[in-house]
Structure 1
Amino acid sequence: MKYILILADGMADEPIEAINGLTPMEKANTPYIDALTKKSEIGLVSTIPEGMAPGSDTANLSVIGYDPKQYYTGRSPLEALSIGVPLEKEDISFRVNLVTLDEHTKFEDKTIIDHSSSEITTEESKVLLKDLKQAFETESYKFYPGTSYRHLMVWKKGQDVNITPPHDILGQKIGDYFPKNDDFIQMMKKSYDILKDHPINQERIKKGLNPANAMWLWGAGTKPMLDPFEEKFNKKGAMISAVDLLKGIAIGSQMEVIQVEGATGTLHTNYEGKVKAALETLNKGNDFVYIHIEAPDECGHQGNLEDKIQAIEWIDEKVVGPIVTVLDQKEEEYKIMILPDHPTPISLRTHTSNPVPYLIYNSTRKIDNTIPYSEKGGKESGKLIEEGHELMKYFIQ
């Protein structure tokens, strides 16, 4: 039996008036998912433990089968594992987002327009981070490049600083969310002076793209300790993702991390390459593969309804369809699970803690299902897995 988990990050949403009260999942044309739905189990799962923030970190830990209440030590340390950053027990790591601030005169009155700077390319952002590193790196503060707008700072023998994620305060005055740390405030403020007129940003503005004109520090955490996935579930697993967070979780749990050229974490990622890599790793002996697709979440943060619907349709057309077709042709015994990690509603442009719908298809079982795969369908099923980390065990068993 082979196990495939397709994680459509942030896919779940709320009813939207502009599309007649439907959600993007309901509006999207998804013939392959619809065909699977008729033969699948539909239900809801709570991926965010009560009292914890609805982040992709806690949510994906839950989905992979690790109780965030036991294993979560912060978001950025998981990304540090992916980047290869050495963390000591006393170190505190932070996510460094390259964000777009408006041009309001006073820094504290500025707002975050875009948490991803129009999904700036990794090549561009590394140049900008190099300049920030030159300005701010000391024996205490170390900077490391990541992917796109997502980078890392390590405070050697540092202290925890609670800072609101930038995607949670879009359009709000940043001064209301400054960290209680003068060094951090001054670094963030000076970063604007360094980046606002940078040649890369001037070129981006000419192209109609948002400039990456400041850094925002957040996501503090300490070195994580995850149990090996294979020991936990008796399955050899692999991770396919463009996002350092997911790669870090995989490295921490000793899953294989598969790099796919052209995987960007955006709407225009290499869907075909991810599918090819997934099928190849299953052929080579892995029992389980986790295919993470970031696009719906990014579209939700941008408030872009049209692109979010497109992302869901492409996941259906370019991921679900080809995988099911190949495995059926091979007459392979397999199970597929499709779900988001959390909702990212277009109206809010950030995450919520609401339960998300899951679909589980088993090629060896005959199910006659009439419940649609959607947020409403999940509720209609009457099935709710309240502890999200139990879902993986349920799926595999």
Structure 2
Amino acid sequence: MKYVVLIGDGMADEPLEEIGGMTVLQKANTSNMDYITTYGRAGLAQTVPEGLAPGSDVANMSIVGYDPKKYYSGRAPLEAASMGVELEKDDVAFRCNLITIKDDLITDYSSGHITNNEAKEIIETVDAELGDERFSFHPGISYRHLMVSKNSLGANTECVPPHDVIDENRHEHMPKGEDSEVISELIESSMKILADHPVNNKRIAEGKNPGNSIWLWGQGFAPAFTAFGELYGLRGAIISAVDLVKGIGIYAGLDVIEVPGATGYLDTNYIGKAEYAMEALKDHDFVFVHVEAPDEAGHMGDMNAKIQAIEDFDEKVVGTVLKAAKEMDDDVTIMVLPDHPTPIALRTHTSVPIPVAIYCTSEENADEADAFNEESVKKGALGTVYAADLVGMLINNKWTI
């Protein structure tokens, strides 16, 4: 048996008046996910344990089979692993967003999805100006970067994700608590450094949002994972354009497969991800495929973009995998799900249980659910499951019971 897990980040949503009280999953054409739901089994999955924030870090860790209550130590350390930044015992990794601030309002958590090259130039400037024996800044992908502090500095500072406070005054959401003054000073200093940066001047002239401030959040120490192969006895791989998800894979001992053209945005190489996943199944037992696009559209509050991202995920990822799986000599079990909701109206994550559907190419296990959306799956036989148990359920075939 081979296993493929397809994650459409942030696909789940809430009813919207603009589309007659439907959710975007109900509105979108999702014929392939509907097929998996109709001829497989469906239900709800709780990806975010009580007491933890509904981030992609916690939710995807659960889906990969690691209980965040045991393994979670922060978001940024996972990204550090993917970026090749090794953390020493007392190092604290922070996510370092490049954001847009205008008139003291946080107007864009992504600086208009700034390009890698532009962002690299800006982060290198920040590191040259603010980096010292305590702090170092490391360029990542687009707006997502990393800061590392020494001697546990900032480990217990209270920081807010910028995508949670769009169009709100930055002063109300600056770091608080232990070490907050020094962390806040880094943000304030970056604004002075970047106000007249050549990259930002060029972006403004082109009508684009500038990366005129860093924003620090999601910090933590390096976690200690038990290897996926040791936990589950299978060789696994993971495909994502997002450092966070790749970092989970690295700590889990999964093979991280890079796909050309994978961007972590609406223009990602959907078909390439699916094709690389099916190729990986030739010498792997388990492949996780993560697509960020629906989540990005949710954070943008763009309903049409989110519907398009879901339809692209369904047609180009789920459809490609489903067709190829049916042609394989091995039986293939496919599981499809988001990691968490990213409601258009809220533009941030929630911890509401998400829809999940599982299908095996060797046999039909149909239940009453007949469409992949938040309501239909409630008729499914799986009920509500704890997401960290899903990998074990797949391997032990407990989802068919």
TM-score by length of 1: 0.95
Asked if the contact 1:46–1:384 (Cα under 8 Å) also holds between the matched residues in 2, the reply is no
Deviations 1:232-280 (A, max 9, x none): 1111100100000111111101100011121110010011221221111
Query: What stretches of structure 1 move > 6 A for 4+ residues in a row?
Result: none
The 5 Å alignment of 1:154-173 reads 154-159=148-153, 160=155, 161-173=157-169
Which position in structure 2 is the counterpart of 1:221?
Answer: 220
Map 1:141-156; keep pairs closer than 5 Å.
Answer: 141-156=135-150
The yes-or-no answer on 1:175 pairing with 2:174 is: no
Matched, 1:307 2:341: no
SS of 1:389's partner is helix
How far apart are the structure 1 equivalents of 2:356 and 2:197? 45
- The one-character-per-residue Cα deviations of 1:69-128 (angstroms, maximum 9, x if unpaired) are 1100111011111111111111111110001111x1xxxxx1211111121111111011
The residue type paired with residue 81 of structure 1 is A
User: What SS does structure 1 have at the residue aligned with 2:386?
Assistant: coil
Q: Could you tell me which amino acid in structure 2 is paired with residue 268 of structure 1?
A: D
Q: Check whether the contact 1:356–1:378 (CA below 8 A) recurs between aligned residues.
A: no
Offset of residue 384 of structure 1: 3.5
Q: 2:23 corresponds to which residue? A: 23
Task: Summarize the alignment of residues 71-220 of structure 1 with structure 2, pairs less than 5 Å apart.
Answer: 71-102=71-102, 104=103, 110-159=104-153, 160=155, 161-180=157-176, 181-220=180-219
Distance 2:135 2:198 in 1: 26
In the alignment, which residue of structure 2 is the partner of 1:287? 285
Q: Deviations over 1:117-142 (max 9, x none)?
A: 12111111101101100110001101
| SS of residue paired to 2:375 | helix
Structure 1 residue identity aligned to 2:327: Q
Query: Equivalents in 2 of 1:183, 1:193: separation in Å?
Result: 16
Tell me the secondary structure at the aligned position of residue 387 of structure 2.
Answer: coil
CA distance in 1 between counterparts of 2:120 and 2:325 reads: 40
Does the CA contact (< 8 Å) of 1:75 and 1:245 recur in 2? yes
Instruction: Report the 3-state secondary structure (helix = DSSP H, G, I; strand = E; otherwise coil) of the residue aligned with 1:66.
Output: coil
Q: Say if 2:321 is the partner of 1:323.
A: yes
Give the match for residue 343 of structure 2: 345
Once superposed, what is the RMSD of the aligned Cα atoms? Answer: 1.3
Query: Cα deviation per residue 1:356-395 (whole Å; 9 max; x = unaligned)?
Result: 0001001122233442211112333364344221112112
Contact 2:238 2:254 in 1 (8 A): yes
Q: How does 1:382-393 map to 2 (within 5 A)?
A: 383-393=382-392
Aligned equivalent of 1:107: none
In structure 2, distance between residues paired with 1:303 and 1:84: 32
CA distance in 2, matches of 1:183, 1:134: 17
Amino acid at match of 2:53: A
Larger deviation: 25-34 or 222-231? 25-34
Deviates more, 1:375-384 or 1:227-236: 375-384
Hey, what does 1:43 align to over in structure 2?
43
Identity %: 47
Q: Matches of 1:272 and 1:200 in 2, distance apart?
A: 33
C-alpha distance 136-255 of structure 1, shift in aligned 2 (>3 A): same
**More deviation, 375-384/110-119:** 375-384
CA distance in 2 between counterparts of 1:381 and 1:278 reads 27
**Structure 2 residue aligned with 1:298:** 296
Q: Which amino acid aligns with 1:304?
A: D
Question: Which amino acid counterpart does residue 41 of structure 2 have in structure 1?
Answer: E
CA distance in 2, matches of 1:153, 1:274: 29
**Counterpart secondary structure, 1:38:** helix
Q: Could you say what secondary structure the match of 1:290 adopts?
A: strand
| Contact kept? 1:11, 1:343, Cα under 8 Å | yes
| Matched length | 390
The 1:386–1:275 alpha-carbon spacing in structure 2 relative to 1, beyond 3 Å, is closer
Corresponding residue number in structure 2 for 1:241: 240
* Contact 2:41/2:366 (<8 A) preserved: no
Can you give the 5+ residue segments of structure 2 that lack an aligned partner in the other structure?
397-401
SS at match of 2:42: strand
Deviations 1:283-303 (A, max 9, x none): 1x1011100000000100000
Amino acid in the other structure paired with 1:126:
K
Calculate the TM-score normalised by the size of structure 2. Answer: 0.94
Rounded to whole Å, the distance in 2 between the matches of 1:331 and 1:378 is 30
Unaligned runs of 5+ in 1: 105-109
CA distance in structure 2 between the partners assigned to 1:196 and 1:336 by the alignment: 48
Q: Does the aligned pair in 1 maintain the 2:367–2:380 contact within 8 Å?
A: no
Take 1:383 and 1:333, find their aligned partners in 2: how far apart are those partners?
21
